[in-house]
Amino acid sequence: MNNRVHQGHFARKRFGQNFLHDDYIIESIVAAIQPKADQALVEIGPGLAALTVPVSKYVDHLTVIEIDRDLASRLIENPFLHNKLTVIEQDALTFDFNLLAEQLDKPLRVFGNLPYNISTPLMFHLFEHANIITDMHFMLQKEVVTRLVAAPNSKDYGRLSVMAQYYCQIIPVLEVPPTSFKPAPKVDSAVVRLVPYKEKPYLVNDIKTLSRVTTEAFNQRRKTIRNSLSNMFTVEQLVELNIDPNLRAENLTVQQYCQLANAWK
Ligand code: SAM
């Protein structure tokens, strides 16, 4: 049942509301985050506070971003939380994380059981702020975690793998079954830790070009790159870069995508 009432709240499908109710999983996530008193923790989608309450026990202050007005009001009124919590009622996709880091004068530690419908665009939004983020812990669809960590030459390796691995070191933490949520989602979930590199292994001059190369390559992933990247590179240019034009998108490493991005004029 998708809309069952939970703690008097009617779960809203359009906001991807699947509330955690499994104490073992909740404790494991908090243990993985290891919140410390003076750190700037930021939760995306706190919902009914399943993670917010246990994390708040470790920190002096916590910022939460919640789109659902009813849930935001509940959080503001929560007697266990109100003196520690800053509740921002907003779409996390439009939130300025840079400004928050400036205001708190600290790098951010971001976490959340993310609404699955926005998890990928939200991660891309956060990657743009990677320089002011210490780490991120997210509950995602298991399939998304598999794609985040995928290595070249596998069917799961795609644009998300390249872009995420460009910015972050990625560590799967925990698998979570549908029964840990109310209402139960149809798919398995997993928690992942993303740690933005302080010094990236490979640097691109322009991130938009890396984004474009990966989009063009993976949009036609069955084709060889001599065809899929023909709008951007000639066969001679690929050969000059020591990249075999007969490879397919999934055969190229993150380093090779960075090389291509830097070679494009
Ligand atoms: N953290 C809670 C838990 O673990 O039980 C709730 C998780 S639920 C999967 C996702 C939460 O994100 C909901 O509270 C939902 O209202 C909120 N949400 C959905 N879209 C959002 C958005 N664009 N910005 C901020 N919060 C959002």
Task: Give residue-wise pLDDT tens across range 63-106.
Answer: 999 999 999 999 999 888 878 999 999 999 999 999 999 999 99
Our answer on whether the CB atom of 49 is closer than 6 Å to any ligand 1 atom is no
CA distances to 10, 76, 149, 190, 258 from 47, rounded to whole Å, are 11, 12, 27, 18, 38
- Ligand 1 within 6 A of 11 CB? no
pLDDT tens readout for residues 211-263: 999 999 999 999 999 999 999 999 999 999 999 999 999 999 999 999 999 99
| pLDDT at position 8 | 80
51 labelled ligand-binding = no
On whether the CB atoms of residues 110 and 44 are closer than 8 A, the answer is yes
CATH level 2 (architecture), domain 207-263: Orthogonal Bundle (1.10)
Q: What is the mean pLDDT of residues 35-47?
A: 97
pLDDT tens per residue, range 102-111: 999 999 999 9
This prediction has a pTM of 0.95
- Ligand 1 atom closest to Cα of residue 112: 1
Higher pLDDT, 3 or 194: 194
Q: What is the mean pLDDT of the chain?
A: 95
Tell me whether residue 45 is annotated as binding: yes
CATH 3.40.50.150 domain range(s) in the chain: 5-196
Decide whether any atom of ligand 1 lies within 6 Å of the 118 Cβ.
yes
83 annotated binding-site participant: no
| Ranges for all domains in the chain classified under CATH 1.10.8.100 | 207-263
pLDDT of residue 3 exceeding 70, the answer is: no
pLDDT at residue number 79: 85
Chain position carrying tokens 């985040």: 148
How far, in Å, from the CA of 183 to the mean position of ligand 1? 13
Q: What is the pLDDT of residue 2?
A: 47
- pLDDT over 70 percentage in the chain: 98
Ligand 1 pocket, residue 229 CB under 6 Å:
no
Whether residue 254 has its Cβ less than 6 Å from ligand 1? no
How large is the average pLDDT for residues 26-47?
98
Atom of ligand 1 nearest to the CA of 117: 20
The per-residue pLDDT for range 49-58, each reduced to its tens digit, is 999 999 999 9
How high is the pLDDT of residue 1? 44
CA nearest ligand 1 atom 18, residue: 45
Going by alpha carbons, the residue nearest to atom 20 of ligand 1 is: 15
CA 248–ligand 1 middle distance (angstroms): 37
In the CATH hierarchy, which fold is given to the domain comprising 5-196? Answer: Rossmann fold (3.40.50)
Distance CA 236, CA 240 (A): 6
Closest ligand 1 atom to the C-alpha of 181? 5
